[in-house]
Amino acid sequence: MSGGRPVRLRVFSLNCWGIRYLSQHCAQRYEMIGDLLCREEHDLALLQEVWSEKDYLFLKKKLAGSHPHSHYFKSGVIGSGLAVFSRHKLHDAFLYRFSLNGYPYMLHHGDWFGGKAVGMVILKVFGLTAHIYVTHLHAEYCREKDGYLPHRVVQAWELQHFVRHTSSGADVVILGGDLNMHPQDLGNRLIRAYTGLRDCYTETDKFDGCDDGITLIADNPFTNKKELIPFEKGIRIDYILFKGSKKVGVKCESLSTTKGSVPEKAFPYSDHEALSAELLLQPTEGAGEGEGGSDSCSADTLPELVDTVTEARTEVKVGLHLAERMRHTAARTGMMGLVLLLLELAIAAVPWLALGAEQPFPRASFYLLGALCFAILLTTLLLYVFYTTQVKTLQGAEDQMRLAVGSLQDALRGLPRGQQGEPTRTTPDLHRPTPLDHEE
């Protein structure tokens, strides 16, 4: 940015839906995605659900000319699915894995097996230090009975913490990815309020894309229409967020999305639509517009932030209550299995104590019942450990939010009386039903 002239930065984000052997037309779609990125030559491409390292290596080879610098974030059983491709040299990379990410026994959802996380790369663009984040949060699946809401709220809480604490020295901050949240959902409000990040869709001067910026559209042939109920056209869950600094102001000049099937192709790039944003970086004097966050929020935003964190804390308590119940259920079931095993051993000891007595039931049945008892004990032990870990994590998040609310309320009390405002949102019902309520 020599001479103080403004420069433009083009950013691309796409959930690739790249589950090998399960996602439809996976190899062909990666070929199409690679062709698109080679043709458009974005400065940055932030990709999610690149679940196979072989697919990442394919893209790396294909994009060697247009995006010579890249990083693949490895995490979990099948990986984080996160990858960054850049025209500019990457100087550092770091991955933070979310502490909560669904349930291992929900095999048909599979989120637990992917190490959902936020990846960060640091690079120099036009002489500026840019901190770039790519992330993918837990899916919703059912709007009416969202048993994963506490997990996604904790992920959003950890995401905003990670961004705030790692972006302090950045001139430009960009976050892209599939947040799996509607624009006004709790986690989304939490991220934007704390970090000061701004949404390209609401800030852009020019938009060319699907109606209302939706990125999971009903017309996409790969979309499960049941997951979009009651949203007939689709939902907006993919985002590019940005902010500047005291040194640089950032403005979104244009934002576009793909619109379903690719011209001259029989199917689209993915089950999600891709986002392309053109950001204008302008040298500025004084405090930049992107410095938001809990430590520097204005008097006007403090009451809203208090309400948002309080609401988040309530949702975490809901998840904590549920995890404690499931842990108790696992413990009770394990005790039943132990009692059954002891009873069987007592019956097996009868022939030894009473000489000449016959075995009360066939040996095959004895071994089968013993195997069942051991299976119950092992399964319930693993579940007890799993839910204990969840309880500890949720308790930790709730403690952090309690401290944050106290700090924000202290700041609010320090304001003149006319600026303190009133609560604007009600907190959710602690006893709202969830899918797991019926699993006990």
Per-residue pLDDT of the chain (440 residues; tens, 9 = 90+): 655 789 999 999 999 999 988 899 999 999 999 999 999 989 999 999 999 999 999 999 999 999 999 999 998 788 899 999 999 999 999 999 999 999 998 888 888 888 899 999 999 998 999 999 999 999 998 888 888 999 999 999 999 999 999 998 899 999 999 999 999 999 999 999 999 999 999 999 999 999 999 999 998 999 888 778 788 889 999 999 999 999 999 999 999 999 988 988 889 999 999 999 999 999 886 544 444 444 446 667 888 899 999 999 999 999 999 999 999 999 999 999 899 888 877 877 766 665 555 656 677 777 888 888 889 999 999 999 999 999 999 999 999 999 999 999 988 887 766 555 555 544 444 444 444 443 43
Residue 233 is assigned to a structural domain of this protein: yes
- Is the domain of 257 the same as that of 173? yes
Going by C-beta distance under 8 Å and a sequence separation of 6 or more, which residues neighbour residue 259? Answer: 209, 210, 273
Token pair, residue 178, equals: 């599939």
Are 278 and 339 in a shared domain?
Answer: no
Domain's final residue, options 250, 283, 316:
283
Can you give the CATH number for the domain in which 17 is found? 3.60.10.10
Residue of 42, 69, 136, 272 marked active site: 272
What Cα–Cα distance (Å) separates residue 367 from each residue in 71, 342, 371? 52, 14, 6
Residue 431: its pLDDT value, please?
41
Tell whether 166 and 209 lie within a shared domain: yes
Domain count for the chain: 2
Domain check: are 276 and 388 in the same one?
no
Same domain, 87 and 124: yes
- Domain contains 351: yes
Residue 410 in domain: yes
Residue 389: inside a domain: yes
Cα gap 370→390, rounded to integer Å = 30
Q: Per the domain annotation, does 288 fall within a domain?
A: no
Specify whether the backbone of 111 is left (phi greater than 0), alpha (psi in -120 to 50) or beta.
Answer: alpha
Say yes or no: 278 and 364 in one domain.
no
Domain boundary among 220, 249, 283: 283
Q: Are both 192 and 234 inside the same structural domain? A: yes
Q: Is residue 308 part of a domain?
A: yes
Task: Please say whether the beta carbons of 10 and 86 come within 8 A.
Answer: no
Residues 46 and 179 in one domain: yes
pLDDT reported for residue 260: 87
Q: Are 174 and 132 contacting, i.e. CB atoms less than 8 angstroms apart?
A: yes
On whether the CB atoms of residues 259 and 212 are closer than 8 A, the answer is no
Residues 383 and 260 in one domain: no
In angstroms, the CA 440 to CA 436 distance is 8
Q: 72: phi > 0 → left, psi -120 to 50 → alpha, else beta; which?
A: beta
Residue 272 annotated as catalytic:
yes
CA–CA gap between residue 183 and residue 298 (Å, rounded): 21
Identify whether residues 157 and 267 lie together within a single domain.
yes
The reply to whether 261 falls in a domain is: yes
Residues 166 and 34 in one domain: yes
Does 424 share its domain with 358?
A: yes
pLDDT of residue 189: 95
Q: Report yes or no on 399 lying in a domain.
A: yes
Domain-terminating residue out of 254, 283, 312 = 283
> In which domain, by residue range, is 381 found?
302-438
pTM of the model: 0.88
Q: What is the pLDDT of residue 418?
A: 57
- How are beta strands 248-257 and 82-86 bridged, if at all? unpaired
* Interatomic CA distance for residues 59 and 54, integer angstroms: 9
**Which residue carries 């001259």 as its tokens?**
264
